[in-house]
Structure 1
Amino acid sequence: MPNYRPPDRLTATPAKATLTRGTVLYRVHSARREPAAFNPRPAHCLYGGGRFDGTGCDPYGYLYAGLSPVAAVCETLLRSLPFDPAGGPRLVPRVAVRGRRLSTLRLTTDVSVVSLMSAQDLAGVHQDTWLVQTEAADYAYTRDWAHWIRDHTDPWAQGFVWRSKREPEDRTVALFGDRCPQRALEVTGEDPVDFGTDEGGRWLDSVLEPYHARLAP
């Protein structure tokens, strides 16, 4: 529940998972940011921002990625996108993809993360599926919980892994820039997909189509 504050102390056991060296991650990001660069800009403690961003209360760089290109696209572009009551496809606004691309990254080292995959995992941090399923209106609360979990898993937790809300068959990760070693991620040899190009737009529509969505005209 968003009105449930984190307890004073951790009395359960957070679940640890390892993302092994060589794991491939897919990231949707601004073309102005290097593919493997963590976002250094803290979100506001109350307004805007993502689910597990760093804030002024706990300023750390962060990087979100999917374990598949589909997870990365769905988590980024289908967020809070309603279905059309008339049955038409959901339309992703062009502004949502402007200046963005999908890049393929690879871990150069093992990374230890807090697993938020199962109900048991979530109970290990005194939470339930609300933490990884709630919508953006509650993100100020999920960020506060993320800071509390980080504080109680210092120094080993280098990020989180959880089931994608938009594609539960796949996984999403958030990595912490202050705990991952430098150059923990490298860019693979695969060319990025630029969403602003005709080819990139066609690729994106092919990914969105099974989710009854497409780019707006």
Structure 2
Amino acid sequence: MPKSRPPQALPRRPRRQVLTAGTLLFRIHAAAREATAFNPVPADCLYGGGRFDATRCDPYGYLYAGLSVEAAVCETLLRSVPFEPSAAPRLLPRRTVRGRRLSVLRLARDVEVVPLVSGRDLAAVAQDAWLVQAEAADYPYTRDWGHWIRARTGPAAQGFLWPSKREPADRALVLFSDRCPADALRDAGVPPLDLDTPEGESWLNTILEGYHAAVAPAP
């Protein structure tokens, strides 16, 4: 149940899904961090942070990505930008793209994840769509549930996979550094794109147009 404490045990054995070697991953990340580098900084237990970040209660490196470029954009930049009552295009604050980069990665090994996609997937972990669709205010709870799922699915579960909140036709994922081999990810050979450059902003606005959104104009 949303915001409740997890039960003692999983009600069912969660399904596993293999992402095969060669799968492309699209990542929007801080340009100061290497494309294949996991974030080593635990989120606060209560404030800030992402849906399935580590905390001091369960420290691990984490890496978010999308199985499409649209999922990466929507999950990283657009997930908390609401529609305007006037139906005007949603404006993405320029600070959200400052220092951000798009990189394309390739899985060098098969990776096994716990899918949180269907109602059956979620029921197996005693949850519903709230777990993967909750807004940022609920992330302290989703992190706690993520830690609980990690603890009960064991080291073979190398990450989670779920529908992107703003592009549910595509998938977002998180991978865990303590469960993925060091060589699981490699650069796909596609030049990275800095989103705070004129070229990057133009490209990003092309993607955002389909979601009735745009980067806010420069002051």
Q: If the length of structure 1 is used for normalisation, what is the TM-score?
A: 0.98
Within a 5 Å distance, the mapping from 1:19-34 to structure 2 comes to: 19-34=19-34
Q: Note the alpha carbon deviations across 1:19-64, whole angstroms, 9 max, x for none.
A: 1000000000000000000000000111110000010000000000
Mapped partners of 1:165, 1:196: distance in 2 = 24
Displacement of 1:11: 3.0
Q: Note the alpha carbon deviations across 1:71-106, whole angstroms, 9 max, x for none.
A: 100111112212122221100011000010100000
Displacement of 1:3: 3.0
Any conservation in 2 of the 1:105–1:187 contact (CA below 8 Å)?
yes
Any conservation in 1 of the 2:2–2:127 contact (CA below 8 Å)?
no
1:211 is matched with 211
1:109 is matched with 109
1:40 is matched with 40
SS of the residue corresponding to residue 211 of structure 1 reads coil
Any conservation in 2 of the 1:155–1:179 contact (CA below 8 Å)?
yes
Any conservation in 1 of the 2:104–2:187 contact (CA below 8 Å)?
yes
Mapped partners of 2:48, 2:91: distance in 1 = 22
Mapped partners of 1:134, 1:30: distance in 2 = 24
Q: Note the alpha carbon deviations across 1:109-136, whole angstroms, 9 max, x for none.
A: 0001001110000111111101001100
2:61 is matched with 61
SS of the residue corresponding to residue 210 of structure 2 reads helix
Mapped partners of 1:121, 1:9: distance in 2 = 15
Q: If the length of structure 2 is used for normalisation, what is the TM-score?
A: 0.97
Task: Give the gaps of 5 or more residues in structure 1.
Answer: none
Mapped partners of 1:18, 1:138: distance in 2 = 29
Mapped partners of 1:31, 1:3: distance in 2 = 34
Task: Give the gaps of 5 or more residues in structure 2.
Answer: none
Percent of aligned pairs with the same amino acid: 65
One-letter code of the match for 2:110?
Answer: D
Any conservation in 2 of the 1:2–1:138 contact (CA below 8 Å)?
no
2:10 is matched with 10
Any conservation in 1 of the 2:159–2:175 contact (CA below 8 Å)?
yes
- RMSD, aligned CA: 0.8
Matched, 1:90 2:112: no
